Structures are given as C-alpha cells and as structure tokens.
Structure 1
C-alpha cells in the first residue's frame, strides 16, 4: 500500500509541474497585453517596457517560471497586481466559500443517492420508479433553470431566502445556511441524478451474483446482505463517480457563484482573468490542480484498500 501511495504521489507531482509550466507559458504570450491593461489604454511603449522590467517580465520566460516555482514550493505565490494581497491567503479565503457549497451539496447528494439507489435495487416497484424519475429529472433539467425557479419561489414570492449575497459561517450560522441553500440545491440535483443511477445499477448487479444467493440460503437477512456485503462491493464504482461528481460540482459552483454574487473562487477567477493578474491566475491554477489531484489520490487509496487488485493496475 505504501508503494502504491508513493507511486500515485509521484505521478501527481509531475502532473502539477506540467500544468503550472503550461499555464505560465500560455500567460507569457500575453504579457504585453497584461501590462497594458494594468497601465491603462493610453500606456506608451516605453512605460510598458518599464513596467515589464519592474515585474520581472523582461527576463527569459523559462527563467521567470523557475523563479516563480522556487517561491511556490515554499508556499510563496506572490501578491496580487490589483489588490497587493497575498495570493495564497486570498485564494484560500475565496476557496472556503466554494468549498462550503460543494461539501454541503455533495453530502446531501451522497445521503439521498445511497438511500434511493439501495432501496431501488433491493425493493424495486414504486421506489425504483422514483429513483429513475429523480435521475431523469436531474439529467434533463439544467441546474441553472432549477435555481432560477427556486429564487422566484423562495426569494421573490415567499421571501424566505436571500436571492443573492453570502454570510460567513462564523458571523451567523443561520444566515450562512440561508445564503447557500438555493445554490446547494442547484448543485445537489445533478449529483443525485448521477450517483443514484450509479449506485442503483451497481447494487442490482451485486444482488444478482452467486454469493448473494449463497448468503440467502444460509439464512442471512436481506438487510445484512444489502448493507454489509453488496453495498461494500458496490462502493468502488460509486467512489469513482463520486470523485468525478465532486470535481464537476466545483465547476458548477464557479457559475452559480457569479449568479448569486457569492465571493468564491468563481467570481475571483473571473475578475483576476479580466485584470490579467498573473500571480493570482497561477495560484488559482496550481491550487485547483492540487485539490483535484488530492481528491483523486484519496479515492485511489480508498479503492486500493477496498480492492487490492486495483493496486496492481
């Protein structure tokens, strides 16, 4: 298991290095435009060159990248061009907002999906039709349309929830929950559709296997077979889908944050890209890749523990 984890870590580090290098090289092709944006549309060629020298952009690109990398490995991602704020601190502060949405939405999706998927596979009938109907609804109806409908009903008509804005958890737990309720529901609908369908299909396949029939002939209860045996064996494929869904929710949150004026990574990334804020863009890129790689690494380790054969692949 230790060698398996070390191998995954090495692969992940190579991926992070490649993404950071490619991102920096792509940004370097627009350094003149970025500096012009910082100085304003009336900037002269001389002032642009002076600003590039001030920011260190007049050096060879590969030298600039390794200079940035040498600081990044020490946790120093520089300061924002626009706000002079530490990039690491700013990215983390905005990311916690996004993470609060995604974690709550994913938790709701997992609980509802496991219940629907297991009941649909083990009981069938009306519960199975309900599960398939929920999945079909989540697939067909866009999340943005769902949140617009929820805003109209609960924010505009009933005035139960705020239409926009965000309240930090430490300031007021109640207002924090109210501010993320509609965005979380919008994110969770798609997650429930994907996860419940995966769990239902995998559980149906497990319950049809020979070992389940053998357990039944030994007098073991259906509840024990479903929860202790079939669900554990079905966890592997479900975990893979769960990791994909987590990453997909991060992408969905970027859009929803702009719709609801939430101070998360989405709005921060959009504004930083418009301003050509190179340190922030690099910090966001590396942080995003590290987070996605970390999630995949955790899932790989759990899958390796559930299924030792996976460690040999």
Structure 2
C-alpha cells in the first residue's frame, strides 16, 4: 500500500506545477490591471509605476511565475493584492466551509445512492424502470436549480432552514449543521443519481453469479447475501463512482456557495478572479488541485483494501 501512496504523491508534484503554470498564464490574459484597480484612477504615474514594480507586474510573465515558484517552495503563497491578507491564512479560514460541503455531499450521496441502488436491484422490473426515470431526472437537473427550489420551499415558504449565511462549528454546532442542510442536499442530488445507478447495475451482475446461487442454496438469508456478500463485490465500481462524484463536488461548491452566500473557497475564487487578484487565484487553484489529489489517493487506498491484487501492481 505504501509504494502506491508514494508513487501517487510523486506524480502529484509535476501536476501541481503544470496546473499552477496554466493558471498563471491564463490569468495574465484576463483584462484589467491589478495595480490600477488597487490605486484607483486618481493615482499619480509615479505611484502606479512603483506599485507595479512592487507587484512584479513590470516583469515578463515567465519571470513572475519563477518568482512565485521560488516563494511556493518555501511555503509562501503570497498575499492578496487588495487586502494584504496572507493567502495561506485566507485559505485556512475558508477551507472548512468547502470541506464541509464536499464531505457532507459525498457522505449523503453515497449512503442514499447505495441504498437506492440495492433496493432497485432486488425489486421487480417496474421499480427498476421507475428508478431509471428518477435517476435520469436527478442527473439532468442542474444543482443550482435544485438549490433555488429548496430555498424557495424550505427557507422562504416554510422557514425551516436558513436561506443564506454560515455559522462556524465552534460557535454553534446545531446552527452550523442547520445552515449546511440545504447546500449539501443541493450538491449531492446528481451524486445520488449516479451512485445509485452504478450500484444497481453492479449489484445485478453480482447477484447473477454462481457463488451467489450457491449461497442461496446453502440457506444463507437474502439480507446477508445482499448486504454482506454481493455489496462487497460491488465495491470497486461503487468506490470509483464515489471518488469521481467527490471530485465533481469540489468545483460544484463554487456555484452552491455563491447561491447560499457561504464564505468558502468558491465565493473567494469568484471574488479574486473578478478583482484579478492573482496570488489568491493561484493559491486557491493549488488548493483545489491538492483536494483532487487527496481524493484520488483515498480511492487508491480503498482499491488496495478491497482488492489485494492492486497492492502488487
């Protein structure tokens, strides 16, 4: 298992460099001048030139990126061009919100999706066709539309959950959980549809195998066959789907956070892009990339636990 982890971590280093380089280059083409935005239209030419020099904006893009990599190696992600706040500190403040959404959405989608998939696989054809229709709708409807619908019903009409805002966990765990219910549900709907469909198809294939018939003939109960033996055989495709869904949830939080006004990485990256705040955009891009790498690493570890042959490859 450890060689797999070390190999994946080694491969992640050039990935981080490539992603940061692409982001740096693309951000340089965004219209606008950060120095002019910071100083305003009333600044003197001398002030403007001095600030551009301090921000290294008067140097070629390649030199700017090299200076950024030099600081990054020393653990310095720079500071915001507009607030002067440390990018690392800013990410530390906003990361818990995004992690709560991603982890909560993944857990909810996994639990509901697996249960629905198993239920559909063990019922008749009519229930499977109805399930296919519901699954198709769940994967086709945009999550922002679901979010707006949930806000209109459960926040505006019935006032059960708050429509916007975020309460830190340390301040009030109850209000923290209450404020995340609608965003997590909005984010997880598409994941429920995909995970349940993969679970259903994998379960149908496993239940048709000879060793399952042998277990039935041996008098093993249907509950034990389904949840103990067959579901374990579905592990690899289900884990793969859960990992892919978790990765899609990471950029999906950008839209959800903006709808529910949550102070996470999603709202921060939108504000930083609009302001052309390159250090913040770069720091957030690296953070999102690291999150994807961690998810892939977790999937590899689960693979090795479910299938020992993976450890020897």
TM-score by length of 2: 0.90
- The equivalent of 1:231 in structure 2 is 231
Extract unaligned runs of 5+ from structure 2: none
CA spacing shift, 1:214–1:259, aligned 2, 3 Å? same
Q: Secondary structure, in 3 states, of the residue corresponding to 2:234?
A: helix
**Residues in 2 aligned to 1:290 and 1:133: alpha-carbon distance in whole angstroms:** 36
Q: Secondary structure, in 3 states, of the residue corresponding to 1:123?
A: coil
Preserved contact between residue 32 and residue 276 of structure 2 (Cα < 8 Å): no
Match status 1:2 vs 2:2: yes
- The equivalent of 2:202 in structure 1 is 202
Preserved contact between residue 120 and residue 128 of structure 1 (Cα < 8 Å): yes
Aligned-residue Cα RMSD (Å) equals 2.4
**Residues in 1 aligned to 2:215 and 2:264: alpha-carbon distance in whole angstroms:** 50
- The equivalent of 1:69 in structure 2 is 69
CA spacing shift, 1:214–1:41, aligned 2, 3 Å? farther
**Residues in 2 aligned to 1:148 and 1:102: alpha-carbon distance in whole angstroms:** 19
Deviation (angstroms), 1:269: 0.6
Preserved contact between residue 20 and residue 286 of structure 1 (Cα < 8 Å): yes
**Residues in 1 aligned to 2:30 and 2:152: alpha-carbon distance in whole angstroms:** 42
**What are the equivalent positions in structure 2 for 1:62-211 lying under 5 Å apart?**
62-124=62-124, 128=128, 131-211=131-211
Deviation (angstroms), 1:77: 0.8
Q: Secondary structure, in 3 states, of the residue corresponding to 1:75?
A: coil
Deviation (angstroms), 1:309: 4.2
Extract unaligned runs of 5+ from structure 1: none
Aligned length: 313
- The equivalent of 1:283 in structure 2 is 283
TM-score by length of 1: 0.90
Deviation (angstroms), 1:37: 2.4
**What are the equivalent positions in structure 2 for 1:46-61 lying under 5 Å apart?**
47-61=47-61
**What are the equivalent positions in structure 2 for 1:244-263 lying under 5 Å apart?**
244-263=244-263
Of stretches 208-217 and 265-274 in structure 1, the one that deviates more from structure 2 is: 208-217
Q: Secondary structure, in 3 states, of the residue corresponding to 2:261?
A: coil
Q: Secondary structure, in 3 states, of the residue corresponding to 1:156?
A: helix
Match status 1:35 vs 2:35: yes
- The equivalent of 2:24 in structure 1 is 24
Preserved contact between residue 32 and residue 48 of structure 1 (Cα < 8 Å): no
**Residues in 1 aligned to 2:90 and 2:221: alpha-carbon distance in whole angstroms:** 53
- C-alpha distance after superposition, 1:41-92 (max 9, x if no partner): 4556654432221122334443432332232233221111111111111112
Of stretches 120-129 and 181-190 in structure 1, the one that deviates more from structure 2 is: 120-129
Deviation (angstroms), 1:270: 0.8
Deviation (angstroms), 1:241: 1.0
